Amino acid sequence: MKKINEVVTLLLLLSVLVTGCGSSVVNGKKDNAGEGNDAGKTITVGFSQLGAESDWRNTNTQSMLDAFDGDGYTLIYKNGQQKQSNQITAIRMFIQQEVDYIVLAPATETGWDSVLSEAKEAGIPVIIVDRRVDVADKNLYSCWVGSDFELEGRKVAAWIKAYTEGQGIDPSDLHIVNIQGSLGSTAQLGRTRGLANAARENGWEILAEESGDFTETKGREVMTSLLKRYDNINIVYCENDNEAIGAIDAIESAGKKVGSDIKHGEIMVVSFDAVNEQAIQYAREGKISCIAECNPLHGPRVKALIETIEAGGTPEKFNYVDERIFSSVPDVNVIIVDGITYTVDAPPETQSAADASSSG
Ligand code: AHR
One domain for residues 31 and 153:
no
Given this model, what pLDDT does residue 350 score? Answer: 64
Q: Is the pLDDT reported for residue 191 higher than 80?
A: yes
Q: 240 C-alpha vs ligand 1 centroid, how far in Å?
A: 7
Q: How do residues 304-325 score in pLDDT, each as one tens digit?
A: 999 999 999 999 999 999 999 9
Q: Is the pLDDT reported for residue 81 higher than 90?
A: yes
One domain for residues 194 and 57:
no
Percentage with pLDDT > 70 across the chain: 86
Is 325 part of a structural domain of the chain? Answer: no
Give the domain range for residue 101. Answer: 25-147+297-320
One domain for residues 61 and 153:
no
Is 122 part of a structural domain of the chain? Answer: yes
Q: 25 C-alpha vs ligand 1 centroid, how far in Å?
A: 32
Is 276 part of a structural domain of the chain? Answer: yes
Q: How do residues 259-276 score in pLDDT, each as one tens digit?
A: 999 999 999 999 999 999
One domain for residues 189 and 73:
no
Q: 86 C-alpha vs ligand 1 centroid, how far in Å?
A: 18
Given this model, what pLDDT does residue 39 score? Answer: 62
Is 5 part of a structural domain of the chain? Answer: no
Pocket test for ligand 1, best of 50, 109, 156, 185 (most atoms within 8 A of CB): 185
Q: 57 C-alpha vs ligand 1 centroid, how far in Å?
A: 6
Contact predicate 69/27, CB 8 Å: yes
Index of the ligand 1 atom closest to the CA of residue 272: 6
Mean pLDDT of all residues belonging to the chain: 90
Q: Is the pLDDT reported for residue 29 higher than 70?
A: no
Q: Which pLDDT band holds residue 26 (cuts at 50, 70, 90)?
A: very low
Index of the ligand 1 atom closest to the CA of residue 131: 1
Is 3 part of a structural domain of the chain? Answer: no
Q: Is the pLDDT reported for residue 14 higher than 70?
A: no
Q: 16 C-alpha vs ligand 1 centroid, how far in Å?
A: 46
One domain for residues 204 and 344:
yes
The amino acid occupying position 319 is: N
Given this model, what pLDDT does residue 40 score? Answer: 74
Given this model, what pLDDT does residue 71 score? Answer: 83
Q: How do residues 207-237 score in pLDDT, each as one tens digit?
A: 999 999 999 999 999 999 999 999 999 999 9
One domain for residues 208 and 287:
yes
One domain for residues 336 and 211:
yes
Index of the ligand 1 atom closest to the CA of residue 185: 1
Given this model, what pLDDT does residue 349 score? Answer: 83
Query: Can you give the CATH number for the domain in which 30 is found?
Result: 3.40.50.2300
Across the range 238-243, mean pLDDT stands at: 98
Cα–Cα distance measured from residue 124 to residue 45, given in angstroms and rounded to the nearest whole number: 10
One domain for residues 191 and 57:
no
One domain for residues 262 and 241:
yes
One domain for residues 340 and 233:
yes
Residues with CB under 6 A from ligand 1: 53-54, 56-57, 130-131, 187, 214, 240, 272-273, 294
Is 186 part of a structural domain of the chain? Answer: yes
Is 43 part of a structural domain of the chain? Answer: yes
Contact predicate 6/46, CB 8 Å: no
Q: Is the pLDDT reported for residue 33 higher than 60?
A: no
As for how many domains the chain has, the answer is 2
Q: pTM of this prediction?
A: 0.88
Q: Is the pLDDT reported for residue 355 higher than 70?
A: no
One domain for residues 162 and 274:
yes
Q: How do residues 160-183 score in pLDDT, each as one tens digit?
A: 999 999 999 999 999 999 999 999
Is 2 part of a structural domain of the chain? Answer: no
One domain for residues 134 and 185:
no
CA 101 vs CA 19, 44, 128, 228, 348: distances in Å: 23, 7, 11, 49, 35
